[in-house]
Structure 1
Amino acid sequence: MKKRMLKLMSILMVSSVIFMNETSAILASGSVAKQETSSESKNDNGQDYKTDQDEKTTSDNNKQSTNSDTTSDNNQNTTSDNTTKPQAEVKEKGDDVKVKEGDKPYLSLGSDLSPDQKNTVLRLMGIDPNKLGDYDVNYVNNTEEHQYLDSKISSSQIGSRSLSSVVVTKASKGSGIKISTYNIGYCTVGMYKNALATAGIQDANIIVAAPFKISGTAALVGTFKAYKNMTGKDLDQKAVDASLEEIVTTGQLEQSADGKKENIEAMIADLKQQVANNQLKTDDDIRKAIDDAAKKYDVKLSEKDIDKLLNLLSKLKKLDIDWSAVKNQAQNWANKLGISMDDASSFWDKIVEFFKSLWDFIVGLFS
Structure 2
Amino acid sequence: MIRKILAIALVAAMIPFGAQNANAASEWDNAVTVYGAALEQDSNLQNETANLLGVEDTDITDYVYSEDVNQYINKSYDNSVLKSSIRIIQTAEGSGLNIDINEDMGQILLISEETYQNALLTSGITDADVTIAAAQDVTGESALAGVYKAFEAQGEAIDPKKTQNAQDELETITDISEENSNVEGFSQVQLNKVITEVKVEIVNNFNGDVTEEQVRTIVDEKLAENGLDGMLSQQQIDRIIVIIMNIKDSGLFTGEEADRLVDSSKDLLDRITSSDSFQDAKDKATELGKDIVNSEEASSFMDSLRSFWERIVEFFKGLF
Partner in structure 2 of residue 328 of structure 1: 263
Partner in structure 1 of residue 43 of structure 2: 115
State how 1:116-265 maps to structure 2 within 5 Å: 116-127=44-55, 131=57, 134-150=58-74, 161-182=81-102, 183-230=107-154, 232-257=155-180, 258=183, 259-265=186-192
Q: Secondary structure at the match of 2:134?
A: strand
C-alpha deviations, 1:86-133, integer Å up to 9, x for none? xxxxxxxxxxxxxxxx972211111211111101100111236xx4xx
C-alpha deviations, 1:285-333, integer Å up to 9, x for none? 1221111111111122111111111111111121123223431233123
Q: 1: CA distance between counterparts of 2:143 and 2:309?
A: 53
Q: Which amino acid aligns with 2:66?
A: N
Contact in 2 for aligned 1:250/1:265 (Cα 8 Å):
yes
Change (3 A) 1:168 1:353: closer
**Structure with more contact order per residue of length (Cα contacts < 8 Å, sep ≥ 6):** 2
Contact in 2 for aligned 1:141/1:161 (Cα 8 Å):
no
Q: Which amino acid aligns with 1:346?
A: S
Q: Secondary structure at the match of 1:187?
A: coil
Q: Which has the larger radius of gyration?
A: 1
- Please state how far the C-alpha of 1:137 moved relative to its aligned partner: 1.0
Q: How many residues align?
A: 247
Contact in 2 for aligned 1:334/1:340 (Cα 8 Å):
no
The alignment status of 1:346 with 2:300, answered yes or no, reads yes
Partner in structure 1 of residue 194 of structure 2: 267
Extract unaligned runs of 5+ from structure 1. 1-101, 358-367
Q: Secondary structure at the match of 1:213?
A: coil
- Please state how far the C-alpha of 1:143 moved relative to its aligned partner: 2.8
Q: Which amino acid aligns with 1:262?
A: V
Q: 1: CA distance between counterparts of 2:236 and 2:214?
A: 16
The alignment status of 1:316 with 2:247, answered yes or no, reads yes
State how 1:66-145 maps to structure 2 within 5 Å: 104-113=30-39, 114-127=42-55, 131=57, 134-145=58-69
Q: Secondary structure at the match of 1:216?
A: coil
Partner in structure 2 of residue 292 of structure 1: 221
Q: 2: CA distance between counterparts of 1:261 and 1:273?
A: 19
Contact in 2 for aligned 1:108/1:139 (Cα 8 Å):
yes
Could you tell me the TM-score, scaled by structure 2's length? 0.69
Partner in structure 2 of residue 91 of structure 1: none
C-alpha deviations, 1:161-209, integer Å up to 9, x for none? 2111111123343121111113322221111101111111121111111
Q: 2: CA distance between counterparts of 1:103 and 1:240?
A: 24
Q: 2: CA distance between counterparts of 1:198 and 1:140?
A: 21
Q: Secondary structure at the match of 1:112?
A: helix
Contact in 2 for aligned 1:271/1:290 (Cα 8 Å):
yes
* Range with bigger deviation, 335-344 or 303-312: 335-344
Contact in 1 for aligned 2:122/2:165 (Cα 8 Å):
yes
Extract unaligned runs of 5+ from structure 2. 1-27, 275-292, 312-320
Contact in 2 for aligned 1:187/1:216 (Cα 8 Å):
yes
Change (3 A) 1:333 1:145: same
